[in-house]
Structure 1
Amino acid sequence: MGVVRTAAFGLALAAASLPAAATDVKFSLDWAFQGPQAPFLLALERGYFRDQGLNVTMDRGFGSGDVPIKIAAGTYDVGIADINPTIRLRLENPDSTLFTPFIIYEASPLAVMTLKGQNIRRPQDLAGKILAAPETDSGRQLFPAFARAVGLDLNSVRWQTVSPQLRETMLVQGQANAITGFITSGILSLRAAGVPADDIVTFRYGDYGVDLYSTSLLMTRRWAEANPRAVTGLITAIVRGQNEARRDPAAAIAALKRRDPLINEAVERERMELGFRELTFTPHVVANGFGRIDMARLQRSIDIVREAFNIARPLAASEIYDPRFLPEAAALAVAQ
């Protein structure tokens, strides 16, 4: 009997020492495999998610307006996307529980881009022009906020709906007068198409008072509350991926190329590093680390979206952003 008890105790001890089963996570990126997506792929390839007990599968995205819809439908558990289309979705759908526990881009990349030959020298010159973008493009979805800020009649512009791959091509070929999108996608894709940097005219939304936070980790409250350790692990791995990609950009672009062998490595590295300089590693983030969100600023950005779409229902910043899942400060620090 003693031998049996000893054997049973040994089996129980062995079972207790086994690592817990990894949590499966279906993860959507916000856009195609480009430079800004490389840090996430680097984190996946180097096992940073696995180190957090997560079995992550990661797919390309089709725009920040598409990601929250797919998360709400259960196609993905989590995703990264510009937070502002999600804010609009929450304003228009009170039953939605989509939120972010972690904001990655401290500055907004949203912009209208055109070429000098179009003679659009100021935002008001967009009146009567054709703008090309996918319907799910965050720049297009938030264009009403930009138009409101610059005093442009929304009905004075016409939209051409295109696939992500054709957006810049439409502008280069003269089939559209301007495009909307992230500066990291639009400017670098135009340059990759042979457009000289001096020929690109950019109107960044933030330069005209549309001061918004941007790319964030999105999920439903239900998934987060059921998987709190996974949420914290995701944030930890994402920060590690951002830091390592900044420290070793060649490795990040190599990880990107393994997912899409057709990329132009030089262009995508420049695209990624532009995002680091302008959006992710801002002076505020470098000084204070990730996750230090100004709730008053976030509330103002929510109200910008609400007013742009004439939505009366208020939405508190605490409903869209919840920092309770953040890891300890050391895991949020910017690596020097």
Structure 2
Amino acid sequence: MLTSSAAVAAGLAVVLTSAACGDAAGAKGGGKEKVTLMLNFYPYGDHVPYYFGKTKGIFGRHGIDLKIVPGKGSNAVAQAVAAGKADFGVVDTAAVLTSADAGVKVKSIGSFFQTSPSAVQFFGGSGIARPQDLKGKTVALTSGDPYADVLPAFLKANGVPAGEVKTVSVQPAAKIAAVISGKADALVGFISDQGPTITEKTGKPTGYLLFSEWGVRTLGAGLVASDRTLARDPKLAASLWRATSESFAAAVKEPDAAVASMEGASPSLPSRTVLAEQWKRASRLLHTKRTASAAPGLNDEADWNDTIKLFAGLGVIASAKPATTYWKPVGE
């Protein structure tokens, strides 16, 4: 059964435009709802559709006056949304699950990256072409990151004993430096993030082993809303979902214009070349086999159940609960 879903608490957050709006689901302004979307991190290629939708007037046509602000990780964004400091947020699905299990009152209204971008990334020419080539290698990851917890499942699924792969834990921002310096042979991260940046910094091509292509499939980031907003203003959540879905479709159709729309988004914005490669990679990840013909952000309950089961099996969440514990479809 296909149903639309809310953006994952780990992936996208729409924050209220001012603290004064913090306990409301948006504020009226000029006939439109003022809504602040909090991203999961600093702006980069995954966020192209939001900026393009704003620039192209898609959110405006749905009655939303959108403000986009950076976040500091999916877990922090989920907490901000639940606390009424944000209307919606971009949150990764793994963080939606762990946040909800910890009592954070948020739900996804749709995963837009329905194939997770999580992967092992490395320099081309490193001798790594398949999971078995990681034997004897050192992989940089961040302890506590749910996708670092997926690495053992990825190795097991491909017949690689975990003890034959060394891991080194570093802060998220240090993973790129670890690979460039040679401290690590590879890193666990998003193919739509670190790889293109490493190539620009070094002039060397990078490769990756996408978890989903090697037997470990999970949903990625999407939009989240607080339980309070979903109860008080379900129409606003549905309008945001529809505008976001249209924005993703538009960004796929017009990638050059979509990337250009991010100009000036942040002092630390990646270069146009990196953004273009990041979005090119990210745009491959919008569907699963079950949702191949569906609109962006329209999820299948079976994909949610598969993701929940995997994370429960890894001990990331305590048990496999029904998908509706974490996900509230609002689209069509």
Instruction: Please tell me the TM-score bracket, short chain as reference.
Output: 0.7 to 0.9
Give the alignment of 1:79-158 within 5 angstroms: 79-91=89-101, 93=102, 95-115=103-123, 122-123=130-131, 126=134, 130-134=138-142, 139-140=147-148, 142-150=150-158, 152-153=161-162, 157-158=166-167
What is the root-mean-square deviation of aligned Cα atoms in Å? 3.1
SS in 1 for 2:107: strand
Asked if the contact 1:52–1:237 (Cα under 8 Å) also holds between the matched residues in 2, the reply is yes
Bigger strand fraction:
2
Distance 1:299 1:155 in 2: 31
Does residue 52 of structure 2 align to residue 42 of structure 1?
A: yes
Structure with a larger share of its residues in helix: 1
In the alignment, the residues of structure 2 paired with residue 74 and residue 129 of structure 1 have an alpha-carbon distance, to the nearest angstrom, of 44
Taking the aligned partners of 2:190 and 2:172, their CA distance within structure 1 comes to 15
Match of 2:266 in 1: 260
CA distance in structure 2 between the aligned counterparts of 1:19 and 1:194, rounded to whole angstroms: 47
Change (3 A) 1:63 1:117: farther
Q: What secondary structure does 1:181 align onto?
A: strand
**Counterparts in 2 of 1:230 and 1:144: CA distance versus 1, 3 Å:** farther
1:223 aligns with 2:233: no
Does the residue aligned with 1:167 lie in a helix, a strand or coil?
helix
Q: Is the 8 A contact 1:42 1:245 kept in 2?
A: yes
Question: Does residue 1:287 correspond to 2:296, yes or no?
Answer: no
Q: Which structure's CA Rg is the greater one?
A: 1
Equivalences, count: 303
2:34 is the counterpart of 1:24: yes
Matched-pair contact (CA < 8 Å) for 1:135–1:161: yes
With structure 1 as the length reference, what TM-score do the two structures score?
0.77
2:238 alignment partner, one of 207, 232, 236:
232
Contact kept in structure 1, 2:98 and 2:316, CA below 8 Å: no
Check conservation: 1:147, 1:154, Cα contact below 8 A.
no
Q: Distance in 1 between matches of 2:29 and 2:261?
A: 28
Q: 1:304 maps to which residue?
A: 310
Question: Structure 1 pair 260/104, CA: closer, same or farther in 2 (3 Å)?
Answer: same
Question: Counterpart in 1 of 2:327?
Answer: 321
Output the amino acid matched with 1:290: P
Offset at residue 266 of structure 1 (A): 2.4
Mark the CA change 1:311 to 1:65 in structure 2 (over 3 Å): closer, same or farther.
closer
CA shift in 2, pair 1:154/1:59, >3 Å: farther
2:276 paired residue among 261, 269, 287: 269
Deviates more, 1:187-196 or 1:223-232: 187-196
Structure 1 residue 291: deviation in Å?
A: 4.6
What percentage of aligned pairs have identical amino acids?
23
Aligned mate of 1:160, from 165, 169, 184 = 169
Gaps of 5+ in 1: 1-17, 329-336
Asked whether the 8 Å contact 2:195–2:207 carries over to 1, the reply is no
How far is the alpha carbon of 1:299 from its aligned partner? 0.8
The match for 1:193 among 192, 201, 206 is 201
Unmatched segments (≥5 aa) in structure 2:
1-27
Going from structure 1 to structure 2, the CA distance change for 1:201 and 1:247 (only over 3 Å counts) comes to: closer
Matches within 5 A, 1:46-61: 46-61=56-71
Cα deviation code 1:72-98 (max 9, x no counterpart): 34442211122122213334x2x3332
